[in-house]
Structure formats: structure tokens, C-alpha cells
Structure 1
Amino acid sequence: MKFPALSIDLKDYERTLYDVIQSDDCVIFFDTNILSFLYKINESARQEFYAWIQTIKHRCFLPKWNAHEYMKKVTANQDDEYLGELKRVSETVKAFGNYRDKPVS
């Protein structure tokens, strides 16, 4: 079976998606993955996300199950899925710091 070639104008698609998200008719539901993703992005990106949410908060919802799933991991100290990447970055920075402080022979 052959599928027809499909060409998508990425800029046009992004513009359409942006328009849909900005529309007051669009309701946004956040999944647990979005909550965990916030741990993985840098502080300025996270603050930009929070600022954007403030402009559309009347259309944003977090389903009860997603909040339950998130809190269950956090309260059971199983938040490595969320914080694991931050721990790895911290360990890498520490390792580079150790090399930097060693004299060159």
C-alpha cells in the first residue's frame, strides 16, 4: 500500500495551532506529563509558561486523576521521574567542577 505524499507548511500549522489555543472556545486539559515536564525545563521557560497560564487560566483544567497521580508520586518519594534529570545535571556540574579544580600535570 502506498500513501500519498503529504506536504505540510510548518509555519502555517503553527499559526493555526496558536490561533486555536488563543481562542476563548478552546479548553485546555493538562496531563500529568505536563506537570512533570515543568521540572525538566529551565527557570525562565517555566516562568514564561506560568505567565502564559495566567492569561488563559479560566480555560485551563487539571483532571482530578492527574492531580491524584502526580501527588501520589510526590508524597511517596517516587518523584525521580520528575526530578531525575535535575539530579543528573547537578551530578554532571559537580563532576566538571571536580575536574576544573584539579591541577593540570
Structure 2
Amino acid sequence: MELFWGIALIVVGGTATVVDNWRHAVVNPEHRIPWIGRPPVLPRAWYVARVIMGFATVYGVLTVMRATELPMFMAAVLAAVAVLPGFSVAVAHNRRVRHRQLEAAPR
């Protein structure tokens, strides 16, 4: 049962990552989402998704590690897999903004 709750928390953390990056992309349609730091405009209650993401991902990974007795380096792999979908949203948004900027630039 511990394994189920650990996987469920990892899914919740990954979903919170997607929601967080999507909300940042919506309020910053003309700006890129930086990898480090904050974007120019923050959505309302932006910290809620990040708090959920952090706690759910960390506790989910720790619960899975305890339930399966995997080697500790797998914790980093599980955490990375949990947040990759959210970062793909940021990458897609940044590419879209970059293409818009290139199209608008004078030649």
C-alpha cells in the first residue's frame, strides 16, 4: 500500500509541475519562462503549485524508496521523471515565444 501512495504522490507532484509551468506560460505570453529566477509576471497564488509540487514529489519519492528498497541514486531518477512533463511545458512555451520574436524581428 505504501508503494501505491508513493506513486500517487509522485503523480500529484508531476501534475503540480505541469500546472505551475502552464500558469506561468499563460500570464507571460510574450516572455520566456526562465530556468532560474522568476518570470516578469507571476500568476496569483503562484506558490501554491510549487509547494504542492515540492512536498508531493519529495515525500512520494521517499515513500517509494522505502517501499521498494531501491538504491538511493534512484531517488534522483524518480524525482527527475516526476518533473519532466512540467519542464516540457516550459520548453514548448519558450520555443513558441522565441519563434514569435524571430518572426517579428526586422530582416
Say which one has the larger Rg: 1
TM range (shorter): 0.3 to 0.5
> Which structure's residues are more often helix, by fraction?
2
* Larger relative contact order, structure 1 or 2 (CA cutoff 8 Å, min sep 6): 2
- If the length of structure 1 is used for normalisation, what is the TM-score? 0.41
